[in-house]
Amino acid sequence: MNATTRVLIGLALGALGGLALDAYDSATAVKVADWIQPLGRLWLNALQMTVVPLVFALVVVGVNAASDAAASGRIARRALGVFVVLLTIGVTLAALTAPMLYGLFTRHPSLAEALGGAVAQNMPHAGQAVGWADWLNGIVPSNALMAAAQSAMLPLVVFALFFGFALSRIDAARRELMVSFFQAIADAMIVSVHWVLWAAPLGVFALILAVCARAGIHMIGALGVYVLVESTLYVMATLAMLLVAWTWGRERVRRYMPALVPAQIVAASTQSSLAALPAMLECSVRRLGYPQRVAALVLPMAVSLCRLTSPVQYIASSCFIAWALNIDLGPAQLAAGAALAIVISLGAVSLPGQVSFMATNMPVAQAMGVPVGPLALMLAMDALPDAIGTLGNVTADITAVCVVSRQSSSDAA
């Protein structure tokens, strides 16, 4: 039995247990929730303790890997620029539309109270908006160690970017030593997260039981809203890539869409962009006629660096928490989350699925000022729209080849 299945079983059993207690007697349900919720919080704290060192190490290593790729030639540098633009389009679309999509659904008053009591820690007040000037002043940390201690993720990542780019300018031997050091930190944190995730079924069971015991069936409906909105955002981001191919890549949509179908079928069935790589190469070179030298270089880079739906998912999850807990997100919070989502997506290369979910969503949620506790409940639910997300990633990867090929042919002309 794989890890995702175990977590889903824990989620289902906890939800059924909480609903049964709520149906039996609400007072008893609250008492049981008060008793069991510390177990869930203990598991959640164990996850949170790994986030700061893991994110810092991943960003430092990712910056240096991107620097190496950019130094390898014009096509690679061009591809990196295209990746950033595509990710920016996706995350901007999510930041603009996610709050509106969640606003279409009615939120039951008991949902915020139940989540606040069971999993939310250091919950901000609903009217506590961050002004644009305060947000701008907080981007660069005056004390990087204090930012790490306070889990202030945006200034911490900014410091990691400065540190990573500075490493790329020092002596090669010393740089390699430091990058290896931070890679070892990231590897150790990933092992630690795996240990914590081993207990994920128990932690998710405790958290969802406590929430369902307080909110009843409304929590199940809220998780359904999350899956629906996330899937909708994935589809919107995928359609946006077709628009990019038409406008920026000068590709005819009638020719482009049918050519993508074989790669998209593999992506949806395997839920793995890496497994779809041979099909993407075949679609790019044989069906669409893009140069072999461009596709062979850009697609492997894109599989690791241009995961379009990853930052979309980070924003969707944080906006869901804000919606469920009745927290208003202003432009500053959305901008902070969007910027950090792009950096985290580029840095979190080849992380396992559940490790990636917690290690990447937590920093974005913290940067947007929402509690990270509900993420533990969403860990299992995220597996449901994963096929749609992989389809979007594959579409973005081939779109990157389309754009880079167009730019390369313009240079040749």
Highest mean pLDDT among 133-137, 144-148, 213-217, 278-282: 278-282
Q: For residue 82, what pLDDT band results from cuts at 50, 70 and 90?
A: very high
166, 182 Cβ separation under 8 angstroms? no
Mean pLDDT, the chain, rounded, equals 84
| Structural domain harbouring 124 | 3-412
- Provide the number of structural domains found in the chain: 1
Q: Indicate the pLDDT class of residue 72, thresholds 50, 70 and 90.
A: low
pLDDT tens digits, 16-52:
998 898 888 878 888 888 888 888 888 888 888 888 8
Q: What is the pLDDT of residue 404?
A: 94
Q: How far is CA 162 from the centre of its chain?
A: 22
Q: What is the pLDDT of residues 310-343, one digit of tens each?
A: 999 999 999 999 998 888 898 888 998 999 999 8
> Which CATH number do you get for residue 153?
1.10.3860
Q: Which of 89-103, 107-121, 134-148 has the lowest mean pLDDT?
A: 107-121
Phi and psi for 382 in degrees, rounded to 5? -65, -20
Q: Is the pTM of this model over 0.85?
A: no
Sign of the alpha-carbon torsion through 184, 187, 193, 198: negative
Q: 122 pLDDT band (50/70/90 cuts)?
A: very low
In whole angstroms, how far apart are CA 176 and each of 148, 154, 179, 338, 410? Answer: 24, 26, 5, 31, 37
Quote the Cα angle for 163-76-276, to 5°.
105
Average confidence (pLDDT) over 177-190: 91
356-393-259 Cα angle (round to 5): 160
Most confident of 89-98, 158-167, 248-257, 342-351: 89-98
Identify the pLDDT of residue 126: 41
pLDDT score for 332: 86
- Which residue in 196, 198, 197, 201 sits closest to 10, CA to CA? 201
